[in-house]
Amino acid sequence: MDYLLANTPLESLETECLIVAVYADKQLSSEAHHLDKLTNHLITNIVERGDIKGKVADTLLISYLPHANIKRVLLVGLGHADKVSAKDYRKALTAAANALKATQITSAVCCLAENAVKDQNNTWKARQIIEAVDAVFYQFNECKSKPADNHSLTQFSLHAATEASEIEMGIAQGKAIAQGVALAKHVSDLPGNYCTPTYLAEQAIAIAKQHDKLNAHILEEADMQELGMGSLLSVSRGSRQAAKLITLEYKGAAKDLKPIVFVGKGLTFDAGGISLKPGAGMDEMKYDMCGSAAVLGALQAAAELQLPLNIVGIIPSSENLPDGAANKPGDIVTSMAGLTIEILNTDAEGRLLLCDALTYAKKYNPDVVIDMATLTGACLIALGRVPSGLLGNDDKLCNDLFNASETALDSVWRLPLWEEYQEQLKSNFADIANIGGRDAGTITAACFLSRFTEDYQWAHLDIAGTAWKTGDAKGATGRPVPLLVQYLLNRVNAA
Ligand code: BES
Ligand code: MN
Ligand code: ZN
């Protein structure tokens, strides 16, 4: 999809479809009013009939207009004009995009960036419009012999009467975020027989090739052996796919500016290993690399926007399968940090990879480290599929992430990382156990990671409930790419 700016006044604009807002109680937005005047009060007449009430996310497509240049109009409800919340706005945008998707329209001009949203500026609105439209039009067709359904829209323009520069900035940011989200969704939706650790490494190399300031390095199993990553390598021993430790380095600022480091869990399939998972729904464990997908998407977006920051992405990638060489319950391995780990459940493998990746992160002398992982089923029990779990050892970093998540509409909710929980990880035979029992599974997983992150400011995002949708709408969400990019944008603004 091409996203463009349209700053032609409505009276001289040409489009197949103009998208304008109506408010609760049949109130026309100023753009709808403008169109009303150009069409001999057609809009007022239709709205007065009551076919659209103007509630949030109501839509009505009028597929013929008595106007030479504006062929159709899509009316979109925004609720009460003075009370449009960020979430209302996003809902309305999604509804509008779905209405467009059901038509044969190939290009549209959207006026909704000109309507007020509580506490949000024009840049935010433009960004949200592009993110919402792009999310609705995303399709995974790679493995179908012919595409599932063909929609026609190829060009989507944002109308700006005044202040075009703010909207233009939002368009650039929205495009970069939407492309990062689409990349993350695509590698996540790809099945495990396509998306292997080697495939992820190739993707990182391909993304780096497209941007001057982005470089990719791949560590092979022999390299990891040399670094002492006994914990990570214990997981890949049970797989015929070689593990990879992928790093992406984005240098957008002076050398001495400490980098922001993102670490993403990259299990391209998690069967549980010898502690085998039950069969029902196991296909969804192809999504156990969604953390790594978000790292790729966020780094690509940062490079696309040429952000004046230094950012490193680290992706430990493997499969977790049962096999004669696989980890067995009771096995004890030695991590790169030197801590020995008793593997009481081979299905708690994510932390076994992440702990070595988090130790490796120290070599970058990071400003902050943020890891994201589909780490625990317990996170779904605690928080459902609405926010990602947030835990960390630094209040400022956690607050910054929370604030970014509110802006990005990519929510997180913090859980405590109190030392009392560390008890649960005691082992009789090693320094630490890899599971902490049934209670507080998301917290004890984070407690495990915290033992490897004491030297820097660190936050952990458990995205087990948010990285993909299950059921009829099964598919990756691309979360938390919007949150990560918003965090980076906020860091640029704070500098
Ligand atoms: N990848 C899973 C977590 C997961 C499960 C995410 C279901 C989303 C949906 C992770 O590797 C895992 O298996 N965790 C175990 C940990 C347990 C053995 C302590 C879990 O959550 O059951
Ligand atoms: Mn597992
Ligand atoms: Zn897993």
Check: pTM over 0.95? Answer yes or no: yes
Which residues of the chain register pLDDT less than 70?
Answer: none
Q: Over the stretch 108-155, which tens digit does the pLDDT of each residue have?
A: 999 999 999 999 999 999 999 999 999 999 999 999 998 877 789 999
288 lines ligand 1 (CB under 6 A): yes
pLDDT score at 147: 81
**Cα 430 to middle of ligand 1, angstroms:** 22
277 is catalytic: yes
Q: Residue of the nearest CA to atom 7 in ligand 1?
A: 377
Q: In a 3-state reduction of DSSP, which class is residue 445?
A: helix
Q: How far apart are CA 200 and CA 184, in angstroms?
A: 11
Q: Which of 188, 344, 347, 479 to mutate to test the pocket of ligand 1 (most atoms within 8 A of CB)?
A: 347
390 lines ligand 1 (CB under 6 A): no
Q: Which of 55, 277, 362, 385 is catalytic?
A: 277
Q: Over the stretch 153-185, which tens digit does the pLDDT of each residue have?
A: 999 999 998 779 999 999 999 999 999 999 999
Q: Which domains does the chain have, with CATH numbers?
A: 2-142+152-160 (3.40.220.10), 180-494 (3.40.630.10)
319 lines ligand 1 (CB under 6 A): no
378 lines ligand 1 (CB under 6 A): yes
> What's the chain look like in SS3?
CEEEEECCCHHHCCECCEEEEEECCCEECHHHHHHHHHCCCHHHHHHHCCCCCCCCCCEEEECCCCCCCECCEEEEECCCHHHCCHHHHHHHHHHHHHHHHCCCCCEEEECHHHCCCCCCCHHHHHHHHHHHHHHHHCCCCCCCCCCCCCCCCCEEEEECCCCHHHHHHHHHHHHHHHHHHHHHHHHHHCCCCCCCHHHHHHHHHHHHHCCCCEEEEEECHHHHHHHCCHHHHHHHCCCCCCCEEEEEEEECCCCCCCCEEEEECEEEEECCCCCCCCCCCHHHHHHHHHHHHHHHHHHHHHHHCCCCCEEEEEEEEEEECCCCCCCCCCCEEECCCCCEEECCCCCCCHHHHHHHHHHHHHHHCCCEEEEEECCCCHHHHHHCCCCEEEEECCHHHHHHHHHHHHHHCCCEEECCCCHHHHHHHCCCCCCEECCCCCCCHHHHHHHHHHCCCCCCEEEEEECCCCCEECHHHCEECCCCHHHHHHHHHHHHHHC
Give the β-pairing of 310-320 and 412-414.
unpaired
351 is catalytic: yes
**Cα 364 to middle of ligand 1, angstroms:** 29
Rg (CA), the chain: 24
379 lines ligand 1 (CB under 6 A): no
Strand partners, 314: 247, 263
**Cα 271 to middle of ligand 1, angstroms:** 10
Residues 173, 123 contacting (CB under 8 angstroms):
yes
**Cα 249 to middle of ligand 3, angstroms:** 25
Q: Which of 376, 439, 462 to mutate to test the pocket of ligand 1 (most atoms within 8 A of CB)?
A: 376
Most distant CA pair in the chain, distance: 83
464 lines ligand 1 (CB under 6 A): yes
232 lines ligand 1 (CB under 6 A): no
Atom of ligand 1 nearest to the CA of 345: 18
